[in-house]
Copies of this chain bind each other. A is one copy, B any other.
Amino acid sequence: MELNKFLPYQLSVLSNKVSAGIAKYYRQQYNISVSQWRVLALLSDKGNQTAKELTIKSQMDKVRVSRTMKSLEERNFISQQACQKDKRARRYKLTKEGDALINEVKPKAIAFEKRLLETLSTNQVEELQNCLQALNSQVDKITEEI
């Protein structure tokens, strides 16, 4: 078996390169991590979410989300508000600063993705999306069996 031809290896190498590449756009310029970017992007799509909701949508574990919320709040990019239904939770939203930040970073992230995808045809992009989605479901199915 050649490691090169092994899908888990290929995915890992590509994903790491892409993450590292795109992280440059927001780490070096704005000093935010991938975790922070994910949370900001999610809150930018929809505000007033709890850590639990963000944990699910970001696919990160709750420890990581908890730390990310703390750091984003310290840097004044998000604010919290008591959650009337559940006193354990809080609802977070972007501050004006957080909104400004995400609106500056987002176009760069989108441009990076666009440059990445311009090597593929429209059909290939669509087919790739289908494959990734199918693989995602499949890996869930496989791992929950174990």
A30 CA to B84 CA, complexed, in Å: 48
Verify if A1 is at the interface (C-beta below 8 Å from B): yes
Verify if A86 is at the interface (C-beta below 8 Å from B): no
- Within the complex, what minimum Cβ distance (angstroms) separates A59 from chain B? 5
Residues of A within 8 Å of B, CB-based: how many? 58
Verify if A74 is at the interface (C-beta below 8 Å from B): no
Residues A41 and B115 in contact, CB atoms below 8 Å apart: no
Instruction: Report the nearest B residue to A34, measured CB to CB.
Output: B12
A18 CB contact (under 8 Å) in B38, B128, B135 = B135
Contact with B along A5-18 (1 / 0, CB 8 A): 01111111111111
Question: How many protomers of this protein does the assembly include?
Answer: 2
Q: Which chain B positions have C-beta within 8 A of A59?
A: 13, 16
Residues A21 and B116 in contact, CB atoms below 8 Å apart: no
A2 CA to B146 CA, complexed, in Å: 31
Residues B7 and A116 in contact, CB atoms below 8 Å apart: yes
Verify if A95 is at the interface (C-beta below 8 Å from B): no
Q: A8-B113, A24-B146, A127-B128 are in contact. List 9 more A-B contacts (CB 8 A).
A: A1-B41, A9-B38, A10-B132, A11-B14, A11-B18, A12-B18, A14-B136, A16-B59, A131-B131
* A-B contacts, 16 listed (Cβ < 8 Å): A1-B45, A1-B109, A3-B38, A3-B42, A7-B113, A10-B129, A10-B136, A14-B132, A17-B136, A18-B139, A20-B143, A21-B139, A21-B142, A24-B143, A115-B142, A127-B131
